[in-house]
Structure 1
């Protein structure tokens, strides 16, 4: 793939320039023509974008946003770098880092961050493995562990647990299954012993007796799980659009945290927001079937879309140490810290 080729964004910019030469538009009308595609997963943790769309925050910033959904994180980074989508929300993966090293993509904001006291990623065991003695998180040593791809966030999260418990990722049998749905199916059938999963997927599995809860990732790592990224082309040639998008997305984060994480949320407001999210997270389910898992799956999002750059740098170093990123990539190549607060 050649990332210097004309992208969909560049083509649209050319069309806009032609239109500007044939008619006079007010600033609001011109901004309203910005069509933006956001690549995402059907996860509750990606809900800030859905909320920003439903509440008109993107529209207020002159953005006509649509969504493209994926089954795993790394393809979102590839699509963003190639211009098939304008922004992506996903974890910090080896694939994203390799694209950043090619000056195709940059992280511009934070999205999902583990926080002790807020249910996050659950460590789970299959019923088969649990019955055979896998009943604690340290016990995963020597067992098979589901992940999407080598170099995925699931790969990294498992390593964080291993490091804290005194063993290494090489002591695990990591099983790449490409899709989250395939991970779930493998755990339920006992083909893998364990996995780490978002709560809106994990809690219903445990409640249904299809798996067992072992513990929570926040006991091992309060880390920057997912980020917002865009192409270098957008940053260099359409910075104003990037700034407007991040402002709207941050408003979606604020609303999500205010309502979905509050123990005292107004029931009517909670129901309204849950319905918004369900349209995207569980489009094929009746609302009453999706409601509980969405509300139980609310995770901590970065206020103001701030980014834990320090943790991103630590993640990058792990990928290098594991040989999953073979370059001299620096954190300043991976992260453009000029858009949001970094810490």
Structure 2
């Protein structure tokens, strides 16, 4: 698995080193804050903060820039095409940070968490009918991911590791984007591929494939984060304004969608409005979205200790040129300050 991705990782690393050398730290001025994001349920707090006017109340003009997978968000941040990233924590991002990218990971934007459904391994109907139904059946099979070094690649490696299966026994297959993965499984062009919500629910509802497992059944993981360019992070007023609005979005999502009593889902009064907001940005029907709502921390608090675990795995599997120091790339103080200003 490491050899297959080495050429790609080296090319990406060279690109990052070039754009990092051009990185500036000037003020944002009156320009909109450009946020790189994917059209996923886990982006709900960002969508809510836009729709409810929380960013505007903070005096911020926010421009959402939509991308097909997590790695291009890191590339866009390195190339100064965005100011804020709101997506998965990938080898590409860590390579950029190790190479000198001036940015900080500051907040939660989605976790793989027990009891909540975010990422599933989907199996094609043809492969399912032929008996591909367990993790132990994966050796020799193709598993679709967006890109080498992506969050999906990481989850595959960690799940295999937990079950004692060498990663070299599985054929990791990069397909470029979530829609490509869904189409490949639905048309039996690949045996399995990872999928995020609401697409797992969409595929099951439309009988486009079968779910083998939820990753949260095997792994707890800070899959996605909010990361700020160095210039935004140093402009404390701007950073705190963004995070206060974002945290308010997190709270609306959590309080109306994620609360549980004795393991039973309790829907808040704004549940339908939140579903409509997610539907607007993902293009999926509210009832499908509601079937699988992933976990986001209510206060946007990052599971900071997991960052080091991720870096170690990527490095040990040949996907990082060198290890970035977690203490230098993670900054939890901004969220702590924003929370003290917002109150409970």
Partner of residue 271, structure 1:
272
d(CA) in 2 for partners of 1:178, 1:336: 30
Q: Deviations over 1:214-254 (max 9, x none)?
A: 11111211110100111123223x22211211121111111
> Deviations for 1:188-222, whole angstroms, at most 9, x for unmatched residues?
12221112211310112112111011111112111
Q: Which moved further from structure 2: 255-264 or 179-188?
A: 255-264
Q: How many residues end up aligned between the 2 structures? A: 313
Cα distance in 1, alignment partners of residues 44 and 273 from structure 2: 13
Equivalent in the alignment of 1:10: 26
Quickly say closer, same or farther: Cα 1:335–1:73, change in 2 above 3 A: same
CA distance in 2, matches of 1:269, 1:322: 44
TM-superposed CA distance for 1:66, in Å, is 1.5
Could you tell me whether the CA contact under 8 Å between 1:201 and 1:297 is conserved in 2? no
- Which residue is equivalent to 1:69? 66
**Alignment of 1:185 onto 2:179:** no
Deviates more, 1:151-160 or 1:73-82: 73-82
Q: Distance in 2 between matches of 1:79 and 1:101?
A: 16
Does the 8 Å contact 2:181/2:194 carry over to 1? no
Are the aligned partners of 1:101 and 1:333 in contact in 2 as well (CA < 8 Å)? no
- For 1:305 and 1:187, the matched residues in 2 are separated by 33
Q: 1:107 maps to which residue?
A: 105
CA contact (8 A) 1:114 1:300 kept: yes
Mapped pair 1:293 → 2:288: yes
Preserved contact between residue 100 and residue 333 of structure 1 (Cα < 8 Å) = no
Instruction: Tell me if the contact between 1:205 and 1:211 (Cα under 8 Å) persists in the aligned partners.
Output: yes
Larger CA deviation: 144-153 vs 269-278: 269-278
Q: Matches of 2:35 and 2:332 in 1, distance apart?
A: 20
| In structure 2, C-alpha distance between the alignment counterparts of 1:248 and 1:195, rounded to whole Å | 34
Between the aligned partners of 1:332 and 1:94, the Cα distance in structure 2 is: 17
Superposed, 1:183-332 pairs within 5 Å as: 183-236=181-234, 238-262=235-259, 263-266=265-268, 269-282=270-283, 290-332=285-327
CA 1:138/1:219 → structure 2, altered by over 3 Å: closer, same or farther?
farther
| Deviations 1:115-158 (CA, angstroms, capped at 9, x unpaired) | 21122211221111111111123322321100011000010000
Provide the residue aligned with 2:138 in structure 1.
140
**Aligned equivalents of 1:328 and 1:204: distance in 2?**
38
TM-score by length of 1: 0.86
Alpha-carbon distance in 2 for matches of 1:2, 1:81: 6
TM-score, length of structure 2 as denominator length? 0.86
Please list every run of 5 or more consecutive structure 1 residues that lacks an aligned counterpart in the other structure. 14-32, 283-288
Sort the Cα spacing of 1:6 and 1:195 in 2 relative to 1 into closer, same or farther, 3 A. closer
Distance in 1 between residues matched to 2:256 and 2:115, nearest whole Å: 16
Q: Deviations over 1:67-99 (max 9, x none)?
A: 000001011111122221111111111110111
Q: Distance in 1 between matches of 2:250 and 2:334?
A: 16
**Structure 2 counterparts to residues 18-33 of structure 1, below 5 A:** 33=30
Q: Is the 8 A contact 1:186 1:192 kept in 2?
A: yes
Given the alignment of the two structures, is residue 118 of structure 1 paired with residue 119 of structure 2, yes or no? no
Distance 1:120-1:2 versus aligned 2 partners, 3 A rule: closer
The structure having more radius of gyration, on CA atoms, is 1
In structure 2, the partner of 1:336 is 331
Structure 2 distance, partners of 1:118, 1:95, is 26
Q: Distance in 2 between matches of 1:281 and 1:231?
A: 25
1:142, 1:90 → 2: CA distance? 30
